[in-house]
Structure 1
């Protein structure tokens, strides 16, 4: 497996950014945000977007000083081999933990709505098997897969837009009575929904034209913001913020509002489209972690990447099967969200500080 199989275009980076962030979290996002901000939950989508936008800016400015913006190499250059390797390993472990929780939530939704009689461990296995297969093919294939699945995601969004005429716009009122404390709490919750943008730390080196990375990442991020905003607004228009609190997955409940003659249960059709979309974050971040692990151990991509991908998939499976029930899953999801905030901003800031302190010692990614 030559290194060129991990090259992606800036266009593919746009789809990967979208695919890394938009997953199962969007199905409960209206409930989570409206619990704190009420009818102003949609504003929290916009204020929460500051975190991923700052993250993208910090990563781009960090790597501009390096001829070889490889995450592992930059870590070693800034922190030395021992501490740099520890930071890379910690990042990989974070990815495994976070994606284990994401996959578990995805499996729980699949079990409730599609496969109620199938054991959870079987569902998890059936989800992670194609995840491993896609990751094993390298970055180029993952980029194309994200591009295809993006259009499926767009179909899902169009299905929700059909409900827009049924909405009651008074449910967004009053706009002036803004609870700033509640909005602040909702903004904090909104931060977590943008988890996945930190993948740019690893994928930056894979993009062929480095000068296009920032623009592509920003475009992808604004697409995510648009998807979240539309979803939250439609849920508020249909249910109102009080009724949403009684629904675990309000986006799926939206699909039972409108009757379609041929399709009796529209949420089933939505979920069938969602099967590929929901697994994208695990595919994208598993690619990043497997690639970084090989780079860290100086392992040949041709000989060890596929085996490493299998190991990452197995680790994600073990994390996903660990929680006893859905309540514990949601508790771990809160911890995972906090870790995202710490990672997405903490890593780039820490690396910037190290870069500033070693100014004059670092010369294009190599220690003097």
Structure 2
């Protein structure tokens, strides 16, 4: 099924998933959580981490039952040809919309913070062309890039936060447990959907050489990503407070505007943080774009995944232009997360794992 240069390790899979999950959502996450649960946002983050690590375990157990197969193949085995194809087409649509939203949000943020006078369309087309070049390279170069860039992005972001530690005010979280438990539970989906991208394991596991290590590496990837989210939310709220955080569209970026290093030779550190973020969101978009082209190639049984990625470009560009402004883009992102996100990150893996266990049990009973 796989070419020799399309093999990755489970550790590379973990890096790939982590860098894909950390994309656009981390920038607005502090605001959305504070709007829902106020100072108890960190409890929602912790609850979301636990749930997603469990989901990572469930998905890992599913894919390890079908080594060297992706969801298109084992979906047909478990659901039959018709239902399996319908599910795969839905997954393809999921990745297409995911990519379009990432592209539009990237364009909006770059236009707001860096290239104010550059047309949005030019930013999006340039970005899409860059993404397609990486996608055409295949899974192994993408995994290697993730393995190299993830530590760089993490270290640069952490070093940017260090100077402001003395200015953080954690009394903004007091008193704790102001929010009713039911409201905390209702806010959990917001946190869970910040891990969109984890579902790529349903496809990428087919390329993993050491399948027995998938579960532990993927669970670590989900947990470590959750830790990054926890630190981001904690630092943002401690720096801005509850009220100011809700008044910002992207508090995850605004926080770097407040960094002041006396005597530093770098005057505008925000530019360097934005550069790290651009690399991060690029890898997120590459991951979901590759997922879309790979899913389509498996559905139609075409070996030309790279060529399909080029054909998909105008479709994604058109979808990215559909929202009328930033606010509608944010609404589309929420709508997408609530429906397709729930389906392919939560429901589909649980149902397929249940069916695989049932079929195995049924087969074992017949053999007896």
Could you say whether these structures have the same fold, taking a TM-score greater than 0.5 normalized by the shorter chain as the test? yes
Conserved 8 A contact 2:67-2:205: no
Conserved 8 A contact 2:196-2:341: yes
The residue correspondences of 1:1-368 to structure 2 (distance < 5 A) are 3-154=3-154, 155-260=156-261, 261-300=264-303, 304-338=304-338, 339-359=340-360
Shift of 1:173: 1.1
Shift of 1:361: 7.1
Find the aligned partners of 2:81 and 2:8 in 1 and give their Cα distance: 28
Shift of 1:22: 0.3
Shift of 1:50: 3.5
> Using a 3 Å threshold, how does the CA distance of structure 1 residues 117 and 160 change in structure 2: closer, same or farther?
same
> Using a 3 Å threshold, how does the CA distance of structure 1 residues 265 and 136 change in structure 2: closer, same or farther?
same
Count, aligned residues: 360
Moved more, 45-54 or 226-235: 45-54
Shift of 1:104: 1.0
Find the aligned partners of 1:86 and 1:31 in 2 and give their Cα distance: 36
Shift of 1:65: 3.1
Find the aligned partners of 2:235 and 2:67 in 1 and give their Cα distance: 46
Shift of 1:91: 0.3
Find the aligned partners of 2:171 and 2:40 in 1 and give their Cα distance: 12
Conserved 8 A contact 1:19-1:281: yes
Conserved 8 A contact 1:51-1:345: no
Find the aligned partners of 1:158 and 1:48 in 2 and give their Cα distance: 26
Conserved 8 A contact 2:131-2:285: yes
Find the aligned partners of 2:363 and 2:134 in 1 and give their Cα distance: 37
Which deviations, in whole Å up to 9, do the C-alpha atoms of 1:69-104 show, x marking residues without a partner?
322210111122222111111101111101211221
Shift of 1:266: 2.5
Paired residue secondary structure (2:195) = coil
Find the aligned partners of 2:136 and 2:362 in 1 and give their Cα distance: 38
TM-score when normalising by structure 2: 0.92
Moved more, 216-225 or 150-159: 150-159
> Using a 3 Å threshold, how does the CA distance of structure 1 residues 162 and 10 change in structure 2: closer, same or farther?
farther
4+ aligned runs moved over 6 Å, structure 1: 360-363
Shift of 1:226: 1.0
Which deviations, in whole Å up to 9, do the C-alpha atoms of 1:311-344 show, x marking residues without a partner?
2333322221111100110110111111212211
Shift of 1:33: 0.5
Aligned to 1:366: none
Moved more, 46-55 or 270-279: 46-55
Shift of 1:360: 6.2
Paired residue secondary structure (1:279) = helix
> Using a 3 Å threshold, how does the CA distance of structure 1 residues 273 and 245 change in structure 2: closer, same or farther?
same
> Using a 3 Å threshold, how does the CA distance of structure 1 residues 51 and 93 change in structure 2: closer, same or farther?
farther
- Which is helix-richer, 1 or 2? 2
How big is the alpha-carbon RMSD for the aligned residues of Structure 1 and Structure 2?
2.0
Which deviations, in whole Å up to 9, do the C-alpha atoms of 1:256-305 show, x marking residues without a partner?
222244433322221122211112111112222222322222212xxx12
Shift of 1:196: 0.8
Shift of 1:237: 0.9
Shift of 1:233: 0.4
TM-score when normalising by structure 1: 0.92
